[in-house]
Chain A
């Protein structure tokens, strides 16, 4: 069995009387591109900071690449682009990468070569001697991304990596994430930009109040799979359990049942089953939901506030 890139068990953070993260239990495989979705204030950034050792968990456990969080040799194999990327603006782009490479304990020669390579990759070679003070938001994000990749990390955390970027910059980030996946790097992505997540991630977790409310395999959201909304009365917990033979993704609220099935072919079977169990079915709407619709269905229109 390979070691997961990220593994957490009931990770919890309480600030005063506010619970930022309620109990995060999660496993992310190495080489996976994992999306962490949730409304503002759902505890995404706090969760990420706990994984990086920036915030101490109130309780629970977390491991990165098999080692407990905060383990220093492991951090040498991790990259991080924070959300409100604010960097030492009195450094030039090149000095900035140099500083962070040194802090990672990189060899001088290797660091030099890697710096050139990354400046080229993010399109900032011409600006390497310029002070970060003079950079636009998009340029800062690019240099921040380069910083996160200096050590060819096995695991990269990107907190809202495309939030300040124009379409060209977004495409660049998307391409870089694809390259990282190709090279077997695990990417842990915090984002609100669902369309971005949809095209880059293998799997996503929906977070609400610092808990995983739903895990979704985007790979299996292929042609055949469908999300079905069923309006019915008389649903029992026993029925919900019975439905698990067709679907792992079942959500119920009031008189509605939403489930993701592998194929639309299962819809008549499900109907038959429900009726046989004594439920009164009023409507069945198979729909191929976009990630955005799933998001709203999962966290609710109130954004979980």
Chain B
């Protein structure tokens, strides 16, 4: 346990020293500023319209627009977090094996599993901080400007974090077996697969095409990251948007809670795979 902690701390320090944290922070803040300005300008337009026509319908439209803007922001945050997770861990084991820095570490009295778990924990922490900054910033911006808070906020954010964590873990497993570039290629390939599978499932649901829906479910089984995003949008959608299915961020074919359980098991299995591959690897 102690070793896991030492490695996790080392991972954190590495991210700080190699300016990964600084870069993430600066660009994250920039993102939030642009997002808030955009939100502000659109919100003013809607408010002006509403001032002329203060009906109940206008108030609902205002709320729906806030919801739409927030989900759009969170969609970008989810993508950035996934990319951050993949980039953080794709190079870690692969890079240290190829450079040889891992050799003096592994010649110490420790378990190789502790190294993998320590790194995972370190990255999970870094990713949590990044996600909290980005998603928290977007939610706060919507709340301060429009007084809007989505339903099931905590559940929704947890699911989006789970999406990023999942991709990060897949990258770590890849990194224990392959080069950083091959890992990156694999992870983004899988991400793309999940993305397109998700859309096929959505469109299939509109036309009631069961085969298309099943294609989507199968891709979710291959990598359940996108399914977590869609479950999150389902949780955080306003009841009206869900009923009318009127925005790209509402979900027509909702991943079941069983899929969430599957995603958790998938994550655990990927972590176990990372440990196992690394244990067997000749350094």
Interface of A toward B, CB cutoff 8 Å: 15, 49, 52-56, 72-76, 78, 80-82, 84-88, 90-91, 95, 99-100, 102-105, 131, 144, 147
In the complex with contacts A54-B107, A85-B100, A104-B109, A90-B282 CB distance below 8 A: no
Cβ of B52 under 8 Å from chain A = no
A-contacting residues, B88-128, CB 8 Å: 99-101, 103-111
Task: Name which residue of chain A comes closest to B3, CB basis.
Answer: A103
The B interface, classified by DSSP as helix, strand, loop or mixed, is helix
Q: Which of B6, B99, B109 contacts A73 (CB 8 A)?
A: B109
Q: Can you give 9 A-B contacts (C-beta < 8 A)?
A: A49-B282, A53-B107, A55-B282, A55-B283, A75-B109, A86-B99, A87-B104, A100-B108, A103-B6
Query: Are B104 and A75 in contact, with the CB atoms below 8 A?
Result: no
Most chain B CB within 10 A, of A75, A81, A99, is at: A99
Cα distance A183–B111 when bound, in Å? 30
Kindly identify which residue among A76, A86, A87 contacts B109, using a CB–CB cutoff of 8 Å.
A76
The chain B residue sitting closest to A72, CB to CB, is B109
Chain B residues with CB under 8 Å of chain A are 2-3, 6, 10, 13-14, 17-18, 99-101, 103-111, 280, 282-283
Known: A54-B282, A86-B99. A100 touches B109 (CB 8 A): no
Q: What is the bound-complex CA distance between A75 and B112, given in angstroms? A: 13
> Inside 8 A of B100's CB, which chain A residues have their CB?
82, 84-86
Give the residues in chain B near A74, CB-CB below 8 Å. Answer: 109
> Which residue of chain B lies nearest to A144 when distances are taken between CB atoms in the complex?
B104
Kindly report which residue of chain A lies nearest to residue B101, judged by CB atoms: A86
Alpha-carbon gap, A213 to B99, bound state (A): 32
A43–B99 CA distance with the chains assembled, in angstroms: 20
- Nearest opposing residue in chain B for A49, CB measure: B283
Do A88 and B107 touch across chains, with their CB atoms under 8 A apart? no
Asked if B106 contacts A99 (CB within 8 A), the reply is: no
> Nearest Cβ in chain B — how far from A286, in angstroms?
45
Q: How far is the CB of A21 from chain B (nearest CB, A)?
A: 12
| A residues in contact with B2, CB < 8 Å | 105
Complex: chain B residue closest to A20, CB-CB:
B282
Cross-chain contact of B104 among A55, A90, A100, A102 (Cβ < 8 A): A100
Interchain nearest-CB distance for B82 vs A (Å): 25
Chain A residue numbers with a CB within 8 Å of B3 are 103
CA A131 to CA B109, docked complex, whole Å: 26
Task: In the A-B complex, list the 7 residue pairs whose CB atoms are closest, starting with the nearest.
Answer: A90-B17, A75-B109, A103-B108, A72-B109, A54-B283, A80-B107, A76-B109
